[in-house]
Amino acid sequence: DFDSLLQKAKVFYKTNQDSALYYSGLAYKKALKQGDVSVIGQAIAQHATYLISKKKYQEAEKLLNQNLQNKSKINKIDLGITYANLGSINSLKEQRDVALENYIAALDIFEEISSHDYLARTYLNIGIIYENEGKTFFMTNHYTTLVLKQVVYL
C-alpha cells in the first residue's frame, strides 16, 4: 500500500538512493490513482526529496509547484517539506535569496506545527547559506534566539 511504499523509500534513502527514488515513485503513482490531493501532496513532498538527491531538480520543482497550487488542501507538514525542498533546489542553484524565502516559509510552518526535527534541518540549511554569504554574525544571533525559544517550549 501507499504508506509501506513511502516507508521503503525512507529506509533506502541513506543506503540506496535509486531504490528510494523507485519506491517513492511507485507511491506517487499510487497516490495519483487514489485521487486524494492530500495523499498526492505527501507523495510529492517525499518523492521530490529523493529527486533532489539524484540532482533531478527540474522534475522535483515541477512536482513541488503542484503542491503549492494545492497548498490549502495538503497537510501542513507536507507543505513545509515542499517549501524546504524548494529552498534546497534554489540553494543548489545558488539562488540564495529565493532559497531563503522558501526556507523561511518552511520555518513558519514547522514552527506552527512544532516539528522540531524539520525546524533544525531548515535552520541548518539557512545557516549554510549565511555561512556561504559571510553573514555568520546575523545567523549566530538568529540561532541563539531560536535556541532560547525552544528551551522555553520544552
pLDDT at position 136 is: 54
pLDDT at position 151 is: 43
Return the residue matching grid coordinates 541513506: 14
pLDDT at position 153 is: 46
Per-residue pLDDT of the chain (154 residues; tens, 9 = 90+): 999 999 999 999 889 999 999 999 999 999 999 999 999 999 999 999 999 999 999 999 999 999 999 999 999 999 999 999 999 999 999 999 999 999 999 999 999 999 999 999 999 999 888 888 776 545 555 555 555 455 444 4
With b meaning 16 or more CB within 10 Å and e meaning fewer, what string describes 72-90?
eebeebbbbbbbbbbbbbb
Q: What is the pTM of this model?
A: 0.85
Question: Nearest-CA neighbor of 51 among 76, 80, 27?
Answer: 27
Cell digits of residue 151: 528551551
pLDDT at position 148 is: 46
pLDDT at position 134 is: 75
